Amino acid sequence: MDKIHLNEMAFYGYHGVLPEENKLGQRFFVDLILGLNLKNAGLTDDLKKTVNYAEAYETVRSIVEGKRRQLVEAVAEGIAKEIFDAFPIVEEVKVKVVKPDPPIRGHYRSVAVEITRKRS
């Protein structure tokens, strides 16, 4: 399966279980890998036979910067669902949502959730 990668998209959202996360918000980074057949797009040079990267970015942005969710897992599931709804050509989606600055004690680079979903 061919892949389209959108790497380290940066957004500001208000997701989390702690009150300060919902009030102050925080940064989120999203990696998106779309699995689909790109042969026709490559042979014809036709944008209609692939996924428009700008539209995929806006789809992800609408989820991360939209409705508040408690869990990063719910953010990832929302992204996967919206990608499938918006782009029927996509057969598989891998979503990684990274919280670089969660309000938890300790030393770490970030916390993240990664899911892979296939169109049924």
Choice among 23, 39, 96, 99 that is catalytic? 99
What is the secondary structure of 5-66 as a DSSP string?
Answer: EEEEEEEEE--SSSHHHHHH-EEEEEEEEEEE--HHHHHHT-GGGS--HHHHHHHHHHHHTS
Q: Is residue 99 annotated as part of the catalytic site, yes or no?
A: yes
**Residues with catalytic annotation?**
99
